[in-house]
Each structure stands twice: as C-alpha cells, then as structure tokens.
Amino acid sequence: MTAHPSHAGTIRDTIMKFDDVKFSVGVTNLATYKSTGKFTCEQEGLYIISASVMSYTNGAYYYISLNGNYISDTYISPQSISHSDIHTGAVTVTRKLNRNDQVWLYAPGSWYIYGSLHSKLTIIKIK
C-alpha cells in the first residue's frame, strides 16, 4: 500500500492521515485506514514500513507507532533553519506484524505538512 495526505496544512498532536491511497494489493480495510490513519495488519508477516514527510516548520518531526509504542523518531528539520526552507524527513523500518497490529504516524506539536505527492507512507509485506 502507498498513500499520501490528500491535503496540506498545519497539524497538531495528531495521527497523520495518508488518506489518498494510490496503490494497494490485498488490503481490504482501506475505508477504516483512510478515516483513522491507522493501518491494521490483516496478514501476519514481515513488513517494510517507509515514510517520507515534507515540511517547512522548524523542528518538525514524527513517530512511527506500532500498537501505541514508538518504533521510530524522524526529524524533518532542525530548529535552526530559516522558515522558508523546505525539508523532507524519511525513514524505513522492518517489523514482524501480527494480525490486528496497528501502525500509524504520529505528529507531536504543531507543524505544517505538505500533502499530495510530497509526503507518503508505504507499507509492504515481504514475507
């Protein structure tokens, strides 16, 4: 599955919604995913979780959460940059997921996210 945020804008202490699904194979609960921002694993296995998020906000960062536990912390831009600079923070992790495990991106604080093709989340079952 690969998805993008359908809109750009300021987000505040929230689960990030990548609700514009561009590609999906074998995921039957897309409606729930689009509305909640939480990917629910339907088949146990080894997964690659990859995210790339664009922002111009100083100090912007996000977590990958697995069942409410942070498994990754990714900074998009440091505090010292100019407000006009645009940066992308990217991360890729591999995890064994069990059926009904949930994965989502969480944005602490308040910052601007670029939508459309500028930010993306991909989750791939590899085994």
Q: Note down the domain range covering 41.
A: 2-125
Distance of CA 81 to the CA centre of its chain: 23
What average pLDDT does this structure show over 39-56? Answer: 96
Distance of CA 124 to the CA centre of its chain: 13
CATH of the domain at 38: 2.60.120.40
Q: Determine the pLDDT at residue 79.
A: 66
Give me the number of domains the chain comprises.
1
Q: Determine the pLDDT at residue 80.
A: 65
Name the pLDDT band for 84 (thresholds 50, 70, 90): low
pLDDT higher than threshold 90 for residue 83: no
The CA–CA distances, whole Å, from 116 to 43, 46, 79, 97, 123 equal 28, 28, 25, 27, 17
Residue 21's SS3 state is strand
pLDDT higher than threshold 70 for residue 81: no
